[in-house]
């Protein structure tokens, strides 16, 4: 028996139907904005963005686009806040491409700041950011968000790709994790 709440279903914050409706709106906006793009590369940040990326891109009505992934992690408490480690780089060259960066949630902004700087350094033609969730009250560095699903308060959320210790990613909704965070 566990004494924490890790086996309880998280309290729903954003229901599946609301996610689907919002993703439809975002996909329509992306389709409209990239109609004239000569080369669009959609890049997700593993692992949290995967559910969102798949559902979004299936509804983007454009000529074939490329899909790739970064994986990042923070270095932990012993280092400078904001240092982000790239665990997996993209396989494709982004030089001259329109890049749509797809993220699950923007919190401090450090992860996306690092990736945006890298993509600019590699001479992407344009970079836009699409995030399902945004926690603006937690921001430490500015990141321009072009497409945003939902702004939320400073809560620890799980589900629809987001985890707590690798669990809960498979929930079809966004919920608030109310167990102890270790
Ligand atoms: P940032 O670099 O913006 O601080 O952090 C972004 C990453 O932190 C997200 O991609 C996600 O992995 C993680 N993160 C931030 N807030 C939450 C949250 O409420 N729940 C979960 N599961 N992960 C979060």
pLDDT tens digit string along 75-122?
766 566 788 999 999 999 999 999 999 999 999 999 999 999 999 999
Measured in Å, residue 123 CA sits from the centre of ligand 1 at: 27
Q: Could you say which of 55, 98, 104, 107 is catalytic?
A: 107
Ligand 1 environment, Cβ below 6 A: 45, 48, 103-111, 156-158, 162-164
pLDDT band at 180 (very low <50, low <70, confident <90, very high): confident
- Tell me the CATH architecture of domain 11-176: 3-Layer(aba) Sandwich (3.40)
Instruction: Please tell me the distance from the alpha carbon of residue 177 to that of residue 142, in angstroms, as a whole number.
Output: 26
Domain ranges of the chain: 11-176
Measured in Å, residue 37 CA sits from the centre of ligand 1 at: 30
Catalytic residue status for 107:
yes
Task: Quote the mean pLDDT of the chain.
Answer: 93
């Amino acid at each position: 028996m566990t004494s924490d709440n890790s086996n309880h279903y998280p309290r729903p914050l954003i229901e599946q139907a609301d996610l689907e409706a919002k993703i439809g709106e975002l996909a329509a906006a992306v389709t409209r904005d990239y109609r004239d793009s000569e080369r669009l590369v959609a890049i997700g940040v593993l692992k949290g963005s995967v559910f969102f990326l798949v559902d979004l891109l299936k509804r983007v009505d454009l000529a074939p686009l490329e899909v790739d992934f970064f994986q990042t992690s923070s270095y932990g408490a012993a280092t400078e806040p904001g240092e982000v480690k790239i665990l997996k780089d993209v396989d494709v060259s982004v030089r001259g491409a329109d890049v749509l960066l797809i993220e699950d949630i923007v919190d401090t902004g450090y992860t996306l700041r690092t990736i945006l700087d890298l993509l600019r350094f590699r001479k992407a033609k344009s970079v836009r950011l699409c995030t399902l969730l945004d926690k603006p009250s937690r921001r430490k560095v500015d990141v321009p968000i072009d497409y945003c699903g939902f702004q939320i308060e400073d809560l620890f959320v799980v589900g629809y790709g987001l985890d707590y210790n690798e669990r809960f990613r498979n929930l079809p909704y966004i919920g608030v994790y109310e167990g102890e965070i270790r």
